[in-house]
Amino acid sequence: MRKILVLTGGGDCPGLNTVIRAIVKSAHEQKDVEVFGSIEAYNGLLRSPQEIVKLTNKEVAGIHVKGGTIIGTTTKGGPFGFPTQMEDGSWQELDRSDETVAMIKDMGFHCVISIGGDGSQAISQKLYEKGMPVIGVPKTIDNDLSATDYTFGFQTAVQEATTAVDKLVSTAESHHRVMILEVMGRNAGWIATHAAIAGGAEVCLIPEIPYDINKVKEKIESRYKDGKGFVIVVIAEGAFQKDGQITSKESDEIGYENVRLGGVAHQLTEQLKRAGCTADIREMILGHLQRGGTPNSFDRVLATLYGVKALELALSNDFGKMVIFKDHEINAVPIKDAIDSYNTVEPNGYMVGTGKSVGISFGD
């Protein structure tokens, strides 16, 4: 009997459960494979007592439609920096990577399938280099992994953002206001660009194109010529003004290593007012609504393709690989290549070009 350990790491994302279900169900078809889940990424393995659960068809029945992850996840630390409270009450991040690799071997796991974004895949690669058999499954609503055309969760996030634009249009139109919708995406403007095109926004501001506030103001004013009008601005959380800085906040959460983005919509309002924009402006930060809830059908299919392929790689001992969806094919690439470069929106590419062709200003 071969034992596979599955874990989910990093921020949650619609479709995680769908991948878990696909792995478990396809393992069930193999007869000689058992699947286990480590709770909250590697925490379940490293905690004492351990938190490792057996996953059978019973546990995964119907979870493909559920948001979140039934085995939990974490954005805090990992085997290379495991947050640990010391006797004096202080917290330190301990390197427990060698122990992790040894545990996987000693507990008889054939391999680990790690479902996560760039941070989790970087951890997988380092553990792989230390001798741990691992397969990666790319996850993030940001769609910022270059090896794959799509990460699951992205399309669901875009749908949420588009629905928000559609709703904001009616209130913006009624009050002749500028409505600024801030969406997630970290340093990639994919969610913003897709939602702006799908929702018919007038302005789309993304990290890849630092904006000129006067150009944004001009676009807004062009919509108010007859004293009426309204404007929808979609802004990615990582967007910033030319010569300006990204809007971020410090995190006081122990072991949390990411830069916390958010709040650029309010900054934009301030900048517009300072530039002399007289329109009434309201902001809406969509936040984690983009990440919660049911994955849409595209993401369910993609997640299932990923799960089945990941198990196939695991059982053929094709370790150190990450599953990808490229050019309408399910495939795999070495994890080290997959984390090499980010997938960001090309300022001169077809998405921005198409947006501009239908009148969207990118603030440049």
Return residues touching ligand F6P (CB under 6 A): 11, 75, 117, 140-142, 184-186, 237, 258, 260-261, 291
Helix axes 16-30, 297-315, angle to 10 degrees: 40
What does the alpha-carbon distance between residue 43 and residue 222 come to, in Å, rounded to a whole number?
A: 54
User: In angstroms, what is the minimal distance from the CB of 288 to ligand F6P?
Assistant: 6
> Least Å distance between CB 63 and ligand F6P?
21
Cis peptide before 49 (omega within 30 of 0): yes
When the beta carbons of 311 and 339 are compared against ligand F6P, the nearer one is 339
**Smaller CB separation from ligand F6P, 151 or 361:** 151
Kindly provide the b/e burial profile for residues 233-270, where b requires at least 16 CB atoms within 10 angstroms of the residue's own CB: bbbbbbbbbeeeeebeeeeeeebeeeeebeebbebbbe
Question: 67 phi and psi, to 5 degrees?
Answer: -70, 180
Specify the residue, 44 or 153, whose C-beta has the smaller distance to ligand F6P.
153
Token reading at 341? 């470069």
Give the C-alpha separation, 344 to 146, whole Å.
8
- Min. distance of Cβ 291 from ligand F6P in angstroms? 5
Q: Is 142 a catalytic residue?
A: yes
Which residue number has the CB closest to ligand F6P? 184
Q: How far is the CB of 2 from ligand F6P (least distance, A)?
A: 32
For residue 175, give the 3-state DSSP assignment. Answer: helix
Q: What is the DSSP letter of 258?
A: S
Which residue among the candidates 12, 118, 142, 144 is catalytic per the annotation?
Answer: 142
Q: Which is nearer to ligand F6P, 201 or 261 (CB)?
A: 261
Q: Which residues are catalytic?
A: 142
